[in-house]
Chain A
Amino acid sequence: MSDTSSTLRLDAEALYADLCKGVQRLLRPETVLVGVWSGGAWLAERLNADLGLSTPHGVISSALHRDDFGQRGLSATKDATHLPFEVEGRHILLVDDVLYTGRTTRAVLNELWDFGRPASVTLVVLVDRGGRELPIEPAYSAARIALPAEARVSLDRNAEGRFQFQFEKA
């Protein structure tokens, strides 16, 4: 695990390589990958290919279970949940790009349960930026960083499919 406190030198590709190794150690024979839209979905897609997993990965959206719906409203996105397998009884490895308050993770867990009762859910993330507001911890994170509360970081994927981080001030 590569810990770094500098946001400027965050190499998304190097962290992805670490994540890939971390995920490999957590795989069970029946594990399926589910990526949180959008960054996590890209990660799950690439992990699925690089690890040669036979079951296609799923994509999950937090949109319908968000707890800030009253403030943010419903945005029109194409981030619909797509789970091309039975959720019931599966071991699910939930993949996200950045873990912060944990509220998105809470929302996607609710979303997941709308499709059935998984045997287990394990969370892996590329970057854990701390600041949790819920009792949610990842089983693996490729990096832990500290960021000011107003900073926003998310994963971006370029035309060649390579990852980089996007930083902006809220």
Chain B
Amino acid sequence: MANIAPAPAILRKPQRNPQLNAHGELIHLLSTEGLPKANLLQILDTAEQFLSVNDREVKKVPLLRGKSVFNLFFENSTRTRTTFEIAAKRLSADVINLDIARSSASKGESLLDTIANLSAMQADMFIVRHSESGAPYLIAQHVAPHVHVVNAGDGRHAHPTQALLDMYTIRHYKKDFTNLTVAIVGDIVHSRVARSNIHALTTLGVPEVRVVGPRTLVPGDLRHLGVRVCHSMEEGIKDADVVIMLRLQNERMNGGMLPSAGEFFKEFGLTEAKLALAKPDAIVMHPGPINRGVEIDSAVADGKQSVILPQVTFGIAVRMAVMGIIAGNEA
């Protein structure tokens, strides 16, 4: 009689969204992909409360008092790390910023050993940016039940807090998601921001999401994400309510995907003339840092339709909401 080996544990266990506990509550924020609409809206609604904390005499609330938040950035970032730090401090957490370049990781320590050591220092939350897609998932699988993980950008995979602050910004100016046309312009295929935004926008019921750029950066098979693929600005921007410009990373030019920055600007750079194709009340967004004259013209970046700086302010409230929500939920 053939001896049938039992299925591996991973196949026997019902697969649950690793971001949610058994009650469907958010315990980590790893991706907007597969995140239910109710959880997305909870974050946006909670962020609204936190935005008003900026107007107070005391710009601090005690929700994370006595908790330690470790900013673990294996990849460079100024804006994201700083806004996470401000957000954690406004929630009264103790914030520890790790200088990874000088840390044990550069001496050969594995990621999980680094996490185990930091956990032994009573970390309650890890904010992780890593060049490897999936690194925050790996960490979330190995931390103790009371420890929470926020993905602050992993490889080409996801940047959920950027997507959430973009959703907050869109809702702030446009009120309703269900009648919008949103165009995301630039290097879609390498962009974790684009990916996270597409998942959030479709979950929130945006009927038309367009991805716009040259064929090398916007391949046709992106259609399976539920978006319309456009290879010209005329088609991509026409009658859009929201235009999200992405930063063009210099390394793409070296890889032969683009002839030159000047060429890209001519075709896909957002100028006032191109923006005139969108709806008159369209808003212009950008995750930053912007490259003036590469993907966006200064006249647009500083123009009255630009909401690039409000995005940064909303980003603090959204990150407070994410940390406040996950810290209050148990695995």
Complex contacts, A82 vs chain B, CB 8 Å:
52
Q: Are B45 and A115 in contact (CB under 8 A)?
A: no
**Interface presence of A69 (CB below 8 A):** yes
Tally of contacts, chain A with chain B, CB under 8 A: 52
Q: How far is the CA of A64 from the CA of B323 in the complex (A)?
A: 13
Q: Are A116 and B49 in contact (CB under 8 A)?
A: no
Q: Measured between C-beta atoms, what is the minimum distance from A68 to chain B in Å?
A: 10
Q: Give the size of the chain A interface in residues (CB under 8 angstroms).
A: 23
Contact string against B for A residues 60-102, beta-carbon threshold 8 Å, 1 for contact and 0 otherwise: 0101110001101110111111100001100000000000000
Complex contacts, A78 vs chain B, CB 8 Å:
45, 48
Q: How far is the CA of A64 from the CA of B61 in the complex (A)?
A: 6
A76-B42 in contact given A63-B49, A114-B58, A115-B56 (Cβ < 8 Å): yes
Interface centre among A77, A80, A113, A115 (most CB of B within 10 A): A80
**Interface presence of B244 (CB below 8 A):** no
Within 8 A of A (CB), among B24-72: 25, 41-43, 45-46, 48-49, 52-53, 56-58, 60-63
**Interface presence of B203 (CB below 8 A):** no
Q: Measured between C-beta atoms, what is the minimum distance from B176 to chain A in Å?
A: 16
A113-B328 in contact given A74-B46, A76-B41, A76-B46 (Cβ < 8 Å): no
Complex contacts, A81 vs chain B, CB 8 Å:
52
Q: Measured between C-beta atoms, what is the minimum distance from B68 to chain A in Å?
A: 15
Q: Which of A74, A80, A88 contacts B52 (CB 8 A)?
A: A80
Q: How far is the CA of A124 from the CA of B56 in the complex (A)?
A: 25
Complex contacts, B60 vs chain A, CB 8 Å:
114
Q: Which residue of B lies closest to A67 (CB)?
A: B62
Q: Are B63 and A80 in contact (CB under 8 A)?
A: no
Complex contacts, B46 vs chain A, CB 8 Å:
74, 76
Q: Are A73 and B329 in contact (CB under 8 A)?
A: yes
Q: How far is the CA of A79 from the CA of B49 in the complex (A)?
A: 8
Residues of chain B having any CB pair with chain A under 8 Å:
25, 41-43, 45-46, 48-49, 52-53, 56-58, 60-63, 324-325, 327-329
Q: List 17 A-B contacts (CB under 8 A).
A: A61-B49, A63-B49, A64-B49, A69-B328, A73-B25, A73-B328, A74-B327, A74-B328, A76-B45, A76-B46, A80-B49, A88-B57, A114-B56, A114-B57, A114-B60, A114-B61, A115-B58
